[in-house]
Amino acid sequence: MEKVRYSDLLPWEFRQRLAARPVAYLPLGTLEWHGEHLPLGSDA
Structure confidence at residue 5 (pLDDT)? 80
Are the C-beta atoms of residues 32 and 43 closer than 8 Å to each other? yes
Determine the 3-state secondary structure of 43 from DSSP: coil
Q: What is d(CA 27, CA 23) in angstroms, rounded to the nearest whole number? A: 13
DSSP 38: S
Q: What is the pLDDT of residues 4-39, one digit of tens each?
A: 787 888 889 889 988 988 776 666 677 777 888 988
Question: Read out DSSP for 6-35?
Answer: GGGS-HHHHHHHHHHS------SS------
Q: pTM for the full model?
A: 0.50
Which pLDDT belongs to residue 3? 67
Q: How confident is residue 1, by pLDDT bands cut at 50, 70 and 90?
A: low
The pLDDT value given to residue 17:
87
What pLDDT does residue 12 have?
92
